[in-house]
Homo-oligomer: A and B are copies of this chain.
Amino acid sequence: MQHPSLYLELDVIEWINTPQPIRLADLRGRVVVLHAFQMLCPGCVTYGIPQAERIARAFPARDVVVLGLHTVFEHHDVMTPAALRAFASEYRLGMPIGIDRPADQGSVPRTMRLMQLRGTPSLVLLDKSGRIRHQHLGQVEDLRIGAEIGTLLAETAKEEATGKDGATDEAPRKGECDGGSCRINA
């Protein structure tokens, strides 16, 4: 039996930089790099977004797809879709960006909760079969991300998967905004 949570879909209210909504299910066969950020998160602006853009430039789109996900869990009143559009325009972001759907209850939006992300910036790597294989919170070396992508590229897509076997996760770190990244206070 499959673990449904491994084949997540993005639950977004609006897309920027793409003519039509993007479904992870349509990206099978390609490695997907999902960059979860907030426009007012210093670590996202300083190193998260530039790294996501480097990844998009370093690999052909037929092999690796880079997506942004705006996961607002604080300052909801000022990190609105309109503010994000102004931000994306000023920073000339080219990658498709989905706006995570606000939750009915609580400050953490839906996809962020579904993927159990603990803050921003978070980098999520999905394999060619659509399974989440790596999640990183905060700053991660290009060499490490590159190696993870390279290993995923070497795999062949599977029809069925049996578990989140390869998932690695950084140990939770104390503090709320150390080094620029922002964490959920749960």
Contact = CB atoms under 8 A, between A and B. Distances in A.
Contact of A177 (B75, B83, B90, B145): B90
Interface stretch (A9-17, A19-27, A37-45, A101-109): A37-45
A164 interface: no
The A interface, classified by DSSP as helix, strand, loop or mixed, is: helix
A59 to B, nearest CB: 7
Interface residues of A, number: 37
Given A146-B147, A150-B151, A154-B154, 16 more contacts: A40-B86, A40-B90, A45-B45, A54-B143, A58-B143, A59-B143, A59-B147, A75-B86, A78-B82, A142-B143, A143-B145, A143-B146, A146-B149, A149-B150, A150-B152, A151-B153
6 contacts: A40-B86, A42-B91, A45-B45, A58-B144, A78-B82, A154-B154
